[in-house]
């Protein structure tokens, strides 16, 4: 029976993968803080060009770190040889022998160990330090990088056309790193916004103090992204026009990675250009680019921030948030004396009680067969009075109270309504006669215009793009004609009304008289 060889995982065999995973064993060990400070001592000595350390050197480095910060443990209370041997066992440190330190024959015969980082161990330690020192809430979107991207794309096109392989490699590599930085920053920023919206401890004073800066940051980034997206797309096409194959070959030729074959370097740079193209200029006309998705995510983030702002302000207006109320209610349920008290608290809070049972006979009992079950028989209609009060309709206490009709008040309200309609009709007539472009609208004319705009915009649901919107009321007709690039401004008594992309006209409505049919006696 032959055994199939195991397939490599992440480019490693099973033993190599196990060795890499064991590098992080000290993170979950019992004395993980002591191991962390030991590795920090090695890292500090390495920054001073001391790579190989004896146990005494490690203790001296720990003492120096303890002088700089009180969090470092006292090296006199640590079993340094045992901790260092454990790190050697995990593969983080490498142990060697140094006989030059021996001053006597007995010391030379004894083991005199020195330690240093392994390459994989140093990478594992730096990864742990990067996680510990990362600031999760300090994430920003870089809007200044788009100008650098455009300049690098233009320089890449010039270098590729001139055949300068080293300049092609430098600009191409810089573009790849810049796009990776944009993607990483965006992921961190939007994750931070998501945590801000989902957190249970939103401090209103902190959020309200920084909301303007946050919204301004999102708006500026979105504006820059919208401004540079078409220019970056055109720059990508200009680079490809100079010869894509020559570009890939030049970058792979200047690549100095020794342990990659020429074929692997070509495939790697071709993959990088495909990723850059998908970010800035996808091949399909209907395929959205990653820049477009980033723009949509920014718009959605602005909406989320505004929703969070509304939630915070509503909580401040009420004095206490709904979440805080529910938390206090849960604490009351937890500290109740018994089950009966919990049920009583539930009835008081939610206003729920036992169901009311009522019985009503069917008006025609003969119409329903007696063999039918409750599920198959038709339902009996119940009155709301019977369900809510338990009394049948007409069994109230005495006759209903007399309804007072105040005719004087009704007439006054009717007169006010007619006067308002006449005022709006006069304003609409003046609006249709003078138009909206050459004069300032008064209060009545502004109300008529806003009412017509409300009707027209509410009727656009389901309409196609480019279809004019219209509304008629008070004897006038308002028409909104889609006009890309036009910016219509209406001056009113309360300010200026701007309509972007629409042409606004108000004309007199054309009424069609409808004649009622006459009744002819037979």
Question: If pLDDT is split at 50, 70 and 90, which confidence band does 31 have?
Answer: confident
Q: Phi and psi at residue 501, in whole multiples of 5°?
A: 90, 10
Where is the domain boundary, 313, 343, 367? 313
Residue 230 lies in a domain: yes
What is the 3-state composition of the chain as percent helix, strand, coil, each rounded to the nearest 5? 60, 10, 30
The mean pLDDT value for 283-293 works out to: 70
Q: Phi and psi at residue 117, in whole multiples of 5°?
A: -65, 140
DSSP state of 9: B
- Local structure of 120: helix, strand or coil: helix
Q: How far is CA 445 from CA 69, 195, 416, 453, in A?
A: 72, 47, 18, 12
pLDDT of residue 237: 87
CATH code: domain of residue 70 = 1.10.10
**Is 240 found in the same domain as 151?**
yes
**Is 79 found in the same domain as 154?**
no
Decide if pLDDT at 4 tops 60.
no
d(CA 312, CA 321): 8
d(CA 308, CA 204): 10
pLDDT of residue 209: 63
Residue 420 lies in a domain: no
E strand or H helix at 103: none
Residue 502 lies in a domain: yes
What is the reported pTM? 0.41
Task: Quote the number of domains for the chain.
Answer: 3
d(CA 499, CA 485): 11
Those residues with Cβ within 8 angstroms of residue 283's Cβ, 6 or more apart along the chain or in another chain? 277
Residue 386 lies in a domain: no
**Is 102 found in the same domain as 227?**
no
Higher pLDDT, 125 or 315: 125
Is the distance from CB of 488 to CB of 511 less than 8 angstroms? Answer: no
E strand or H helix at 473: strand 469-473
**Is 247 found in the same domain as 274?**
yes
Residue 170's closest CA among 185, 159, 183?
A: 159
d(CA 383, CA 393): 7
Phi-psi region of 243 (alpha: psi -120 to 50; beta: other; left: phi over 0): left
E strand or H helix at 366: none
Distance of CA 518 to the CA centre of its chain: 67
Higher pLDDT, 483 or 70: 483
Look up residue 85 and give its two tokens.
């041997």
The mean pLDDT value for 385-399 works out to: 69
Question: By residue range, what is the domain housing residue 146?
Answer: 137-313
Where is the domain boundary, 88, 111, 133? 133
**Is 174 found in the same domain as 116?**
no
**Is 502 found in the same domain as 440?**
yes
**Is 114 found in the same domain as 40?**
yes
Those residues with Cβ within 8 angstroms of residue 105's Cβ, 6 or more apart along the chain or in another chain? none
Give the up-direction half-sphere exposure of residue 201: CA atoms within 13 A in the CB hemisphere.
0
**Is 300 found in the same domain as 201?**
yes
Q: Phi and psi at residue 491, in whole multiples of 5°?
A: -90, 125
pLDDT of residue 520: 42
Question: If pLDDT is split at 50, 70 and 90, which confidence band does 8 have?
Answer: low
**Is 141 found in the same domain as 122?**
no
Residue 449's closest CA among 484, 418, 495, 413?
A: 495
pLDDT of residue 225: 80
DSSP secondary structure, 483-519, as one string: EEEEEEEEEETTEEEEEEEEEEEEEE------PPPP-
DSSP strand E in 152-260: where?
A: none
Residue 462 lies in a domain: yes
CATH code: domain of residue 184 = 1.20.58
d(CA 23, CA 15): 13
Residue 271 lies in a domain: yes
Residue 354 lies in a domain: no
d(CA 386, CA 389): 6
Q: Which residues pair with 54 in a beta bridge?
A: 114
The mean pLDDT value for 164-179 works out to: 87
Where is the domain boundary, 133, 153, 172? 133
**Is 169 found in the same domain as 41?**
no
Question: If pLDDT is split at 50, 70 and 90, which confidence band does 323 have?
Answer: low
The mean pLDDT value for 174-185 works out to: 82
Task: Measure CA of the first residue to CA of the last residue in the chain; give whole Å.
Answer: 108
E strand or H helix at 255: none
Higher pLDDT, 514 or 469: 469
pLDDT in tens, 138-169: 556 677 778 888 888 889 889 888 888 888 88
**Is 269 found in the same domain as 176?**
yes
- The average confidence (pLDDT) of the chain is 77
Residue 492 lies in a domain: yes
Q: Taken in order 276, 280, 285, 286, is the CA torsion positive or negative?
A: positive
Dihedral through CA 497, CA 501, CA 505, CA 510, nearest 10?
-130
pLDDT of residue 199: 54
**Is 142 found in the same domain as 125?**
no
pLDDT in tens, 80-112: 888 888 888 888 898 887 656 555 554 554 457
Look up residue 460 and give its two tokens.
């656009």
Q: Are strands 93-97 and 113-117 parallel, antiparallel or unpaired?
A: antiparallel
pLDDT of residue 431: 82
Given the structure tokens 């944009």, which residue do they identify?
182
pLDDT in tens, 410-459: 888 888 888 888 888 888 888 888 877 777 888 888 888 888 888 887 76
Q: How far is CA 129 from CA 22, 34, 67, 405, in A?
A: 17, 14, 20, 81
């Amino acid at each position: 029976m032959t055994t199939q060889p195991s397939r490599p995982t992440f480019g490693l065999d099973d033993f190599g993968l196990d060795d890499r995973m064991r590098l992080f064993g000290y993170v979950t060990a019992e004395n993980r803080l002591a191991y962390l400070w030991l590795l920090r001592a090695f890292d500090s000595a390495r920054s001073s060009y001391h790579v190989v350390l004896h146990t005494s050197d490690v203790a001296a480095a720990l003492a120096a770190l303890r002088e700089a910060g009180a969090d470092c443990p006292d090296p006199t209370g640590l079993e340094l040889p045992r901790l260092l041997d454990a790190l050697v066992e995990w593969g983080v440190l490498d142990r060697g022998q140094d006989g030059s330190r021996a001053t006597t024959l007995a010391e030379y015969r004894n083991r005199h160990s020195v330690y240093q980082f392994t390459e994989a161990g140093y990478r594992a330690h730096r990864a742990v330090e990067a996680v510990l020192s990362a600031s999760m809430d300090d994430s920003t979107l870089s809007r200044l990088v788009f100008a650098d991207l455009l300049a690098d794309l233009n320089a890449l096109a010039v270098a590729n056309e001139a055949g300068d392989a080293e300049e092609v490699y430098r600009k191409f590599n810089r573009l790849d790193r810049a796009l990776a930085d944009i993607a990483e920053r965006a992921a961190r920023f939007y994750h931070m916004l998501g945590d801000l919206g989902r957190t249970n401890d939103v401090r209103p004073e902190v959020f309200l103090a920084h909301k303007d800066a946050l919204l301004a940051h999102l708006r500026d980034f979105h504006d820059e992204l919208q401004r540079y997206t078409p220019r970056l797309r055109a720059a990508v096409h200009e680079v490809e026009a100079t010869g894509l194959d020559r570009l890939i070959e030049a970058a792979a030729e200047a690549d100095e990675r020794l342990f990659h074959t020429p074929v692997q370097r070509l495939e790697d740079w071709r993959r990088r250009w495909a990723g850059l193209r998908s970010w800035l200029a996808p091949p399909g006309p209907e395929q959205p680019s990653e820049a477009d998705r980033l723009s949509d995510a920014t718009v959605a983030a602005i909406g989320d921030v505004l929703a969070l702002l509304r939630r915070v302000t509503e909580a401040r207006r009420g004095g206490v948030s709904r979440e805080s109320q529910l938390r206090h209610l849960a604490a009351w349920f937890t500290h109740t004396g018994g089950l009966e008290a919990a049920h009583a608290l539930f009835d008081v809070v939610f206003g729920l009680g036992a169901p009311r049972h009522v019985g009503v006979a069917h008006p025609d009992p003969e119409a329903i067969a007696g063999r039918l079950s409750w599920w198959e028989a038709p339902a009996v209609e119940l009155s709301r009075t019977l369900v809510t009060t338990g009394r049948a309709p007409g069994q109230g206490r005495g006759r209903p109270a007399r309804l007072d009709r105040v005719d004087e008040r009704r007439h006054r309200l009717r007169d006010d309504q007619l006067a308002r309609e006449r005022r709006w009709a006069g304003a609409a007539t003046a609006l249709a006669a003078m138009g909206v472009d050459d004069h300032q609208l008064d209060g009545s004319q502004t109300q008529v215009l806003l009412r017509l705009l409300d009707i027209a915009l509410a009727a656009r649901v389901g309409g196609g793009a480019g279809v004019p919107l219209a509304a008629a009321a008070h004897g006038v007709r308002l028409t909104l004609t889609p006009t890309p690039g036009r910016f219509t401004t209406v001056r009113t008594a309360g300010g200026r009304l701007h309509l972007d992309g629409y042409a606004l006209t108000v004309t007199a409505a054309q009424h069609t008289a409808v004649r009622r049919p006459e009744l002819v006696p037979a």
